Homo-oligomer: A and B are copies of this chain.
Amino acid sequence: MSSWYKSWILLTGFILFYVAYLLFGAFVFSIIERPVEDKLKRDIQVLKEEFLNQSCVNATSLENFLERVLQANQYGISILPNSSASSNWDLASSLFFANTLVTTVGYGHTTPLSDTGKAFSIFYALLGVPFTMLVLTACVQRLMHLVTYGPISMCRQKIGLDPLAATAVHFAILLLLVVLGFFVVPAVVFSYIEDTWSFLDAIYFCFITLCTIGLGDYVPGEKPGQNFRSLYKISVMVYLFVGLMMMYLVLRAFHRMADLHGLTSFFQLPHCDEDIEEDKEPIIEAGHEDQHEAEASAKPLDPASQTSYNTIKR
């Protein structure tokens, strides 16, 4: 009975702390952004007044005009002449949109204009989002043996580390490599290609993208007159897919480490599905088996062969 209470007290604590975290974030964002917003608002009002003074347009007709301009802009259609050449719905851009839809990134720099487009988006994502998850999981499942189990058992056999230390060291190295390869290096490339992006902007873009937040304030290949736009868009799609795979891999490796360190038990969370006993009695004998055989051990556990217990502690 007391463990039941403990479990719910833990959950309530979690939720309260989560609300506090949200409030803290709101407070900081409000403090940081409010003055910048106010300044920009004043600037834009001054700009409007100057424009009205210079021209013989009255305020109402300008506002009516601007309302329609902003409405069109919401759908990614700019009134500016240099951006009217490229379409948001050519094949490469549509492919990019479809990709950001099914990966749940959803930048929203272009959105469906028609009701048919909206209905198709629902239908497309309904199948596409689980399908993407399936493909990502299938890829990561096979990569885990190459990137996680292999190196960990090698770490243990060559350096003689204990399972906990080996998992921690492996996770630290994996994290470092992913941060370098999927955040720092791409950010350098993006800040080089997109000449209005600073390095911070590019890192912010990589982070917002690979967390699938996808705010859409920075979207690559949207500058008018960009060279090799289609190729660039497709490269970004590949980056997105492989990056998401890596994020998932890091998450799985972390989950596995948390399992070994007893964190999932403490928080009463589901365990990582991988065999955590594996570290204690490695079946894959690195050095004795070739890569093909190591991959073969990636075979799924037969549900019928897996014994597990539901412990009731009172």
Contacts and interface: CB of A to CB of B under 8 A. Distances in A.
A11 B138 contact: yes
A162 interface: no
A137 B270 contact: yes
Count copies of this chain in the complex: 2
A192 interface: no
6 contacts: A7-B298, A25-B101, A44-B69, A44-B77, A119-B200, A299-B311
A151 to B, nearest CB: 17
The A interface is mostly helix, strand or loop, or mixed, namely helix
B65 A30 contact: no
A226 interface: no
Given A87-B37, A89-B29, A300 B268 contact: yes
Contact of A41 (B77, B108, B300): B77
Nearest to A305: B309
Contact of A307 (B8, B138, B307): B307
Given A29-B94, A213-B125, A18 B132 contact: yes
Contacts of A25: 94-95, 98, 101-102, 124, 128
A84 interface: yes
Sorted nearest first, the 5 A-B pairs with minimum C-beta distance are A25-B98, A106-B213, A26-B95, A108-B215, A270-B273
B75 A296 contact: no
Contacts of A45: 79, 84
Interface in A1-58: 1, 3-4, 7-8, 10-11, 14-15, 18, 21-23, 25-30, 32-34, 36-38, 40-41, 43-45, 47-48, 51, 54-57
